[in-house]
Amino acid sequence: MEVDDDGIMMPLPRARHEYLLREVELRGSVRSAEVAAHLGVSEVTVRRDIIELERAGRLGRVHGGAIALGGARGPQAANALVGLVVPSTATHFPQVVRGMEALAPSLRVRLVLGVSHYRPDVEVAQVDRLVALGVQGLVVAPTMRDRTPAELSDWLRSIPVPVVLVERRMDATSRLHELDVARTDHAHGAVLAVEHLYGLGHRRIALAVYDRTPTARHVREGFATAVGRLGLDPGPDVSLSKGEDDPDRLAAELGELLDRCLATGTRAVLAHTDDHAARLVEAALDHGLSVPDDLAVVAYDDENADLAVVPLTSVTPPRRELGREALRMLVDRVADGVDGNDRSRPPRHVDLLPRLTVRASCGASG
């Protein structure tokens, strides 16, 4: 033990350093106030310890505490702790996370991930946990189901740190519109697909959409815009089920779509998602059709489109770029040094445009 300036006994520096490093290793971060209370020392003492350990390259100093450096080298690896809450790590969002991870070291940011599994209650708990951990900002892809826009707005605006929404398009009349957002222009992606098929000579195009996603309505909007602009004849329009829980139901829906295409002379389909498009191609082959000679298929989304039995031409969202842009926006907000409810700076809505990746399923050369 050593004696501080007030004559109070306190743990030796080595013991304090060992405690700090152990807590950072276990929890990923520590807060100076909590360490000071646990060890019975002043926050000034803890801050001095953190500065010393940062100079030694053992941890990263952030506002109010310290964070682990992870696999990065050197004491300059991190100076901010940022939370990320996404609904799933199975589809779409893994690449968004990878984009943020790739940029984080250059911004001296450490990321902490939470997954909501499309459950609002879990989402709220994840955000509360990250705020308690000491994150200085949050990137959130909020769950839109089972809550009204007003409820979602009230909750997001109550979060005491800056928030950037990712891959969500909010109603312009809603208070949600006042939050920073980075998103893909999915309507533009659907326009790209229709224009591409039109350029290949198709004048009637079917639409098949898995509607239980936030992306679906924007795909429909873009499709309708392109069809109207180009003066195309109406093609079959079907809503698809997920398929994982009831594959027979999805098979029946795809069979009905193919029958309607044959009956109307429709020889092109835009299918959302790429998993549904891949199953559509398999169903077409089972019906004795050739893809793309009898039926051209363009997928919306590009998770595994190149692995389909006929590699799928796909609308490719800029997921990694989206993650990087969302993190840049949040770091700018954090750098402002204001709390999450500050509205003094105008909100920023950034739309990134998807591209069309041409493969074999549409009959055009890449």
Strands of 109-115's sheet, edge to edge? 109-115, 80-86, 137-140, 163-166, 180-184, 349-352
Query: Taking the model in full, what pTM does it have?
Result: 0.76
Could you identify the residue written with the tokens 């109406």? 234
What is the per-residue pLDDT for 342? 59
Phi, psi dihedral angles at 221 (to 5 degrees): -60, -45
pLDDT band at 345 (very low <50, low <70, confident <90, very high): confident
Q: Which amino acid is at 295?
A: L
What is the per-residue pLDDT for 329? 94
Of 3.40.50.2300, 3.50.50.60, 3.90.76.10, 3.30.43.10, the CATH number of 186-318+356-362 is 3.40.50.2300
Q: What are the tokens at 6?
A: 């007030």
Indicate the average pLDDT of the chain: 88
Residue range 87-184+320-346 in CATH 3.40.50.2300? yes
What's the DSSP call for residue 266? -
Pick the closest to residue 140 from 180, 84, 88 (CA basis).
Answer: 84
Mean pLDDT to the nearest integer, 167-181: 76
Question: What residues does 223 pair with on adjacent strands?
Answer: none
What is the per-residue pLDDT for 9? 46
What is the per-residue pLDDT for 339? 55
**Spatial separation of the C-alpha atoms in residues 293 and 268, rounded to whole Å:** 10
- Which regions of 262-335 does DSSP assign to beta strands (E)? 268-272, 296-300, 313-316
Asked whether the predicted pLDDT for residue 363 surpasses 80, the reply is yes
Residue 245 or residue 266, greater confidence: 266
Residue range 2-67 in CATH 1.10.10.10? yes
Please give the distance of CA 66 from its chain centroid, rounded to a whole number: 26
What's the DSSP call for residue 347? P
Domain with CATH 3.40.50.2300 in the chain: 87-184+320-346, 186-318+356-362
Pick the closest to residue 147 from 184, 118, 179, 113 (CA basis).
Answer: 118
What is the per-residue pLDDT for 82? 93
Mean pLDDT to the nearest integer, 218-240: 97
**Spatial separation of the C-alpha atoms in residues 304 and 353, rounded to whole Å:** 20
**Spatial separation of the C-alpha atoms in residues 13 and 45, rounded to whole Å:** 9
Mean pLDDT to the nearest integer, 159-185: 84
Residue 269 or residue 146, greater confidence: 269
Asked whether the predicted pLDDT for residue 148 surpasses 70, the reply is yes
**Spatial separation of the C-alpha atoms in residues 218 and 305, rounded to whole Å:** 20
Domain with CATH 1.10.10.10 in the chain: 2-67
* Contact status, residue 267 vs residue 261, Cβ threshold 8 Å: yes
Query: pLDDT (tens digit, 9 = 90+) per residue, 234-253?
Result: 999 999 999 888 899 999 99
Q: Angle at CA 126, nearest 5°, toward 98 and 174?
A: 85
Mean pLDDT to the nearest integer, 246-269: 96
